[in-house]
Chains A and B, each alone.
Chain A
Amino acid sequence: MRDKPMIDPEFSSIWTLWKNGQIDLTTPLRSPGHQPLQALKEVEKYRPRHSWEAYSQYVRKSTLLYKIAATILCCIFITLMLLTVANLPRYGDPNAPTINEVSERYIEEGTEETGAVNTVAGMILDYRAFDTLGESFVLFTAVCSVAVLMNLSGKRQHIKHTKELINYADDMIVRGVCRLLVPVILLFGIYILLNGHLSPGGGFSGGAVLGAGLIIYSMVWGEEKASRVFPAKLVRLVVFCSLAFYCLAKSYSFYTGANHLPFLIPEGAPGHILSGGLIMPLNVAVGFVVCFTMYSFYMFFRRGRL
């Protein structure tokens, strides 16, 4: 690569140094005038040093190459995918390979073995519970990552957000309707949570509805009030307790299963709300995790901290 004049002359690659003979490996260096700079500062300032236009021309040429390559790639990709889809088993076919002994057992013996009337809930929280454990931790990881990125703590609390143009609490209609609506939403979310094993629902959908209720509360009555009602300590405590309960309950189930020990939690009668072994408590735990995760996302985006 030729030595472009726009590059900082101190900053050359090995190839350039070698080619220009600027570093001779056979003699010791004799330039004590090269002073190393001060130690690392905490935050680097962005300071472009050389010509933007010349460098942007170089970038534009490589972008063109990237665009051509990416277009060809996308065309090939779309063609291959359509051909593959054309060769899959027919949509809605009762003789498809996916209808095998696995799905038959989930439906036929699912209720007796897991106690859940909703076979999908029985599948994700009993048969294939390890996947769901991983999935709850994906949410937890995302909350931690967003906290890492958005958290304005310490010395950056002085950064002001854009001012609120609309104060929802002043509007009579919004305030009045939400005063009636938020309790109904929360109640509906709790209903979905508790009935996950009896009807469509479960931890994830119930948690999402509960989270939506909390977000509306925070939007309308203001973020200060919401953060007084749900302080950061409380949110962390609830998330910690729910996830820890989930881990411990599921590890009891996995341990007794793998070592062929008896599982002491009763299945209950299918159709009753207190049935399904561990499924209902796990739904509640997952529901709380999802609810507070959604609420935390909203609060981190809005004000940088819970």
Chain B
Amino acid sequence: MSFVQNFPFFSVILSLLCAVTSFFLDARWAKRLTLFLLCTSIGLQGSVLSFCYRNHMSYEYLMGHFAAPWGNEIALGILEPLFALLFATVMLCCVLGGIKRMERDVFPGKQSYYWIMVDLAHVSLLALCYTNDIFTGYVFIEICTIASCALLSIRENGRALIAAVRYMVFALIGSGLFLIGVIFTYSITGQLLFPQLYETIASLWEAGTYRFSMTIAIGLMVVGLAIKSGMFPFHFWMPDTYGRATPASSGILSGVISKGYIFLLIKIIYRVVGIEIFAASGVQTLLLLFGIAGMVAGSVSAIFAKRLTTMVAFSSVAQIGYIYMGLGMGTQAALIAVFFQIFSHALTKPMLFLSASQLANVSGGRQDFRSLCGAGHRHPVAGFTFTVGALSMVGIPLFAGFIPKLYFATSAFGLGWKTWPVLLALAVSTVLNVMYFLYTTILIWLPREEGARNHNRVMPQVETIVPAALLAGFNLMVGIHSSALTALFTQGIDLFCQ
């Protein structure tokens, strides 16, 4: 066992220790610890990823002295470190981009708590990526929920608190349903670790016993995670939540935390339930229908949104609808498209939130569309990154958002009755996306009269430009060199779905 294989475990323990130490120290040291932790975590996940890629292996790491069904363990191949790396990178960029705004919004005595929450959100995402046990997944989901509520409500703003309450009610309903699903699954199978659950569920399904209870249990787990990540009928908490938080928190929540839940959901579908049983139980069709509904409803609501961040939040609903539609399709090509969509959305959405807040800053702090006219001229870098993000969301070639839509369209053929609804939904939602994203992009680049041009021009600060520009750079890189990433995903899926 090589030393590199210990790295995921080291990153989890390091995050926990950083969170606890920040509790004892003051805000400056807490900030340094968090930034140190995120950079180290990127390095550790990157080394594990290259190790697993070079040796084309996946392995289990015992958390304790006892092997699988008696003790706990984490398992990883190529996909898990890849997504952990993505999450850590995006969190670092969000946090760096939002530092100045956070230091203005948050009371100085409470800033160390902000960094503690970022550490805890990071550790829960790592654990959700790496876990091989369903109950450990539940515990870290709860840490993630409480940490995101604190990230939301740390602003001294009454509306943020109401948004946080709404978010918590939905999130706790989702956790409760997930836990009940786990309990039913445990009652029927007697196992809690993924490999043993997979074998037991397969043998029970073949024998035909407890089939109804198992379908309901699978449905409850899926619905619980879907509520937490914002699938169509349960997305009502999203616009207020993302719209009222500080931009770093909106970026972390929308870009990274919802993707963590979706990654756990994919793990449960492919490694606990198995794709054949999942298709046979009918939950897959439900995901497809709700995904399609989400794509259309999210875009329609975005057109009627009155504030810029609310519009961006509704477009999140639409993009997550793409992911659920892909999970509902169920083929391997669709799964590659889903992973790509997760990647591109995680890179793009935080960038949109950061640039939106910058654009609003130079427009006198207002977010309605009239004041934002010409904002791109007042803050060129924010305008550029917003344009990159908008074009990526619409799906223009060269940007990261084009590839998953292409893959969704190509994988839609040959699926029987699912082909036409999927293709129709893709077409309709692209048109709707164009309507609000391109309109807003043109709006911010409208020329204004000369006298008004230098009004309220804020000099862009390095700390806020560099992260958003970095994310834009990653976006373009992923869009142009997509074949390397696709090959990585294909190789990863071979190891993932055994």
Contact = CB atoms under 8 A, between A and B. Distances in A.
Given A98-B186, A98-B190, A43 B157 contact: yes
Contacts of A243: 16, 20
B91 interface: no
Interface stretch (B40-48, B80-88, B330-338, B365-373): B365-373
B217 interface: yes
Contact of A144 (B62, B116, B142, B452): B116
Contacts of A129: 63-64, 72
A147 to B, nearest CB: 6
B171 interface: no
A247 B66 contact: no
B303 A147 contact: no
Interface in B16-63: 16-17, 19-21, 23-24, 61-63
Nearest to A30: B449
Contacts of A130: 63-64, 72, 133, 136
A127 B448 CA distance: 67
Contacts of A98: 186-187, 190
Nearest to B306: A13
Contact of B303 (A13, A247, A263): A13
A154 interface: yes
A140 interface: yes
B139 A131 contact: yes
B374 interface: yes
Interface string A125-158: 0111111011101101110110111010110000
A29 B142 CA distance: 50
A162 interface: no
Interface stretch (A17-25, A170-178, A208-216, A219-227): A17-25
A102 B70 contact: yes
Given A28-B447, A134-B139, A141-B146, A154 B109 contact: yes
A10 B373 CA distance: 13
Interface string A28-46: 1110101011111011101
Contacts of A46: 158
Contacts of B447: 28
A251 interface: yes
A36 B366 contact: yes
Interface string A4-19: 0000001111110110
Contacts of B448: 28-29
A149 B157 CA distance: 11
Contacts of B147: 141, 145
Contact of A258 (B1, B142, B440): B1
A264 B355 CA distance: 54
Interface stretch (B148-156, B379-387, B481-489): B148-156
Interface string B201-212: 000000000101
A137 B6 CA distance: 21
Nearest to B196: A102
Interface stretch (A180-188, A198-206, A233-241): A233-241
A65 interface: no
B72 A102 contact: no
A84 B156 contact: no
B266 interface: no
A87 interface: yes
B473 interface: no
A251 B159 contact: no
Given A127-B70, A243-B20, A142 B64 contact: no
Contacts of B217: 84
A34 B455 CA distance: 11
Contacts of A44: 157-159
B413 interface: no
A165 interface: no
A231 interface: no
B411 interface: no
A88 B364 contact: no
A68 to B, nearest CB: 14
Contacts of A39: 364-365
Contact of B23 (A102, A133, A236, A259): A236
15 contacts: A11-B368, A29-B446, A44-B158, A97-B200, A102-B69, A130-B136, A140-B20, A141-B143, A144-B150, A145-B147, A145-B149, A148-B113, A148-B154, A240-B20, A258-B1
Q: Which 3 residue pairs of A and B lie closest in terms of their CB atoms, listed nearest first?
A: A36-B364, A134-B139, A257-B65
Given A28-B448, A131-B135, 12 more contacts: A17-B369, A29-B446, A36-B364, A84-B216, A88-B184, A97-B200, A131-B139, A240-B23, A247-B20, A251-B13, A257-B66, A260-B1
Interface of A: 1, 10-15, 17-18, 23, 25, 28-30, 32, 34, 36-40, 42-44, 46, 80-81, 83-84, 87-89, 96-103, 105-106, 113, 126-131, 133-135, 137-138, 140-142, 144-145, 147-149, 151, 153-154, 236-237, 239-240, 243-244, 247-248, 251, 253-260, 263
